[in-house]
Structure 1
Amino acid sequence: MPRFAADDGVMLAYDDCGQGPVLLCLAGLTRNMDDFEPVVDRFAGLARILRLDMRGRGGSDHDHDFMNYNLIREGRDALALLDHLGIARAAILGTSRGGLVAMTLAAGHRDRLSGVCLNDIGPMIEPRGLAYIMDYLGKLPGYADYDDAADKLSVGMAGRFVGVSWTQWRDHARRLWMETPEGLALRYDPRLRHAVAEASAADAIPDLWPLFEALKDLPVALIRGENSDILSAATAAEMCRRRPDMIYAEVPGRGHVPFLDEPEAVTALGLFLELVQ
């Protein structure tokens, strides 16, 4: 896995494959580039797909200062990857927090973007979804191995994720955690919990609608899980009202976040890539 140095010396892992318009994939808060394996499998023949492990996640270094786990710093890291590869502009596929990073970049570095596809994220974040995230953030998952995780996720997540096979849950576990003799371990810096708690206490992101408005005139797509507890149907409807040209797909039987292998998600991504050619 190649790595490069951010401007403060933190080493960041990335992957670069495929040919075509550049699509930079940015994962959610605790996720990593492996989340986008289905996108690589489906679209590497149509796009040059870059996947970045944000600092503190996956194969990237942990930051000695957990307060550097913030949207501005992570946006700078995304631009640093483009600079490292000599890429002037890219479309961004942002899952959850990755979508927030994309909107932040649209507000400050719009010239570097050719479009944005948001995966289950918008300008309004539902409190119950945030509460659920804080319930597990920074804590060990409590599974013995990938098989154990698949067994328990198949039952525990069945209400929000309908029709997901045991194999799909095992793949999800493999992407999110790593096996150790003591059980599954985190693939991210547990101090992310402190960063999120500090930001929440400071009310650091009071209103995200101006960031969404910064996407004006850029190709935009939105993918929402039908059962999402982060992006409400009402917020998605308002986003569609403000951007009637936006590609929109709701994925049935999925919560936060869709896996991006669902037919609705694949169709939306295909249409989005046609716009950023």
Structure 2
Amino acid sequence: MPIFSAPDGTELAYHVTGQGEPLLCLPGGPMRASACLGDLGGLSRHRRLFLLDLRGTGDSAVPADPATYRCDRQVDDVEAFRAHLGLERVDLLAHSAAGDLALLYAARYPDRVRTLTSVTGRARALGVDFTEEHRREAAARRRAEPWFAAAYDAYERIWAGSTADADWDAVAPFFYGHWDATAQAHAATEVEQTNEEAADLYASAGAFEPAVARAAVAALDAPVLLLAGELDSGPLPRVAATVAELFPEGELIVQPGAGHHPWLDDPRRFTETVTAFLDRAR
């Protein structure tokens, strides 16, 4: 297992799989180990995936200062990762909450980004986020699912302030396009793969300056793909569209029938979509 040192000396681990040109991958969660990405639905057959375990997750070390879990303070970890790999410019893929980290990286190091692929990515860094209303809108589309009633009741309790693990477990089906054995197995690993302390600090006060980041990405000279799931609530496809419009070369693609983890819902379509985007950007 390869490791490198972050600027503050924290040892960070990463995992390598596949063949082809490098693709640096940042896992979401927030602060979930990169194992959650697997091989991104077979994308490793087209690209060599370098999957980073963010500080305090997976095989990476716990930092001496927990304040460094804040999203903006991890940007230089990504830059150290690039430098460690000896790449002049990188193709960067980020999932979910790591969308914020990738956006901040692109804002701080625009000349280092060749392409950016945000897979159902958040954009709080740009002042765009999902809301309870977005969750309700997406949830309403799943009324025909056999698990809907129990899952929606749990959502109501969460919106009312519940932090019970049972309620969070119950709403898991909403995050997948198909609540099948593959999705259930993936959901079952979330707790053990997530650093909860780090997750609580990831988007804490001061992490984002949207006006500054928007100005930076408005001049980004790199193709950007916003890949949204048709059934996802964070972000809804129409919200992802507003994010795509903030980039000079932003593109939105909505994967039909997909939730928050589109590489699980339709691996072939996901890999074809991402590969085609990366190939066009060469």
TM-score of the superposed pair, with normalisation by structure 2: 0.74
**Which residue does 1:49 correspond to in 2?**
49
Q: Is the 8 A contact 2:234 2:260 kept in 1?
A: yes
Map Cα deviations across residues 164-197 of structure 1 (whole Å, 9 max, x no partner).
31233213423x34xxxxxxxx333322254147
1:260-271 equivalent positions in 2, closer than 5 A: 262=266, 263-271=268-276
**Which residue does 1:170 correspond to in 2?**
185
Provide the C-alpha distance between the structure 1 equivalents of 2:172 and 2:200, rounded to a whole number of angstroms: 26
TM-score of the superposed pair, with normalisation by structure 1: 0.76
1:192-211 equivalent positions in 2, closer than 5 A: 192-196=198-202, 198-199=204-205, 202=206, 204-207=208-211, 209-210=214-215
Change (3 A) 1:114 1:194: same
Q: Is the 8 A contact 1:13 1:60 kept in 2?
A: yes
TM-superposed deviation, 1:105: 1.6
More helix per residue: 1 or 2?
2
**Which residue does 2:150 correspond to in 1?**
none
TM-superposed deviation, 1:117: 0.4
Matched, 1:15 2:9: no
Provide the C-alpha distance between the structure 2 equivalents of 1:259 and 1:159, rounded to a whole number of angstroms: 16
Q: Is the 8 A contact 1:38 1:261 kept in 2?
A: no
**Which residue does 2:277 correspond to in 1?**
272
TM-superposed deviation, 1:114: 0.9
- Count residues in correspondence: 250
**Which residue does 1:61 correspond to in 2?**
61
Aligned-partner residue type, residue 163 of structure 1: H
Provide the C-alpha distance between the structure 2 equivalents of 1:110 and 1:203, rounded to a whole number of angstroms: 19
Map Cα deviations across residues 35-72 of structure 1 (whole Å, 9 max, x no partner).
22132x62323222110000021111122322111233
TM-superposed deviation, 1:115: 0.3
Q: Is the 8 A contact 1:223 1:251 kept in 2?
A: yes
**Which residue does 1:228 correspond to in 2?**
232
Aligned-partner residue type, residue 71 of structure 1: C
Provide the C-alpha distance between the structure 2 equivalents of 1:47 and 1:251, rounded to a whole number of angstroms: 20
Map Cα deviations across residues 212-249 of structure 1 (whole Å, 9 max, x no partner).
424x3312111112233322333223344455854432
Runs of 5+ in structure 2 lacking a partner? Answer: 136-154
**Which residue does 2:218 correspond to in 1?**
213
Q: Is the 8 A contact 1:3 1:12 kept in 2?
A: yes
Aligned-partner residue type, residue 193 of structure 2: R
Matched, 1:98 2:104: no
Q: Is the 8 A contact 1:116 1:219 kept in 2?
A: yes
* Aligned counterpart in structure 1 of residue 193 of structure 2, from 178, 183, 187: 187
TM-superposed deviation, 1:203: 7.4
Aligned-partner residue type, residue 34 of structure 1: A
TM-superposed deviation, 1:10: 0.9
Identical columns (%) = 27
Q: Is the 8 A contact 1:120 1:223 kept in 2?
A: yes
TM-superposed deviation, 1:14: 0.1
Provide the C-alpha distance between the structure 2 equivalents of 1:83 and 1:220, rounded to a whole number of angstroms: 22
Change (3 A) 1:58 1:104: same
**Which residue does 1:255 correspond to in 2?**
259
**Which residue does 1:149 correspond to in 2?**
none
TM-superposed deviation, 1:31: 1.9
TM-superposed deviation, 1:211: 5.0
**Which residue does 2:32 correspond to in 1?**
31
Aligned-partner residue type, residue 197 of structure 2: R
Change (3 A) 1:274 1:63: same
Provide the C-alpha distance between the structure 1 equivalents of 2:68 and 2:114, rounded to a whole number of angstroms: 26
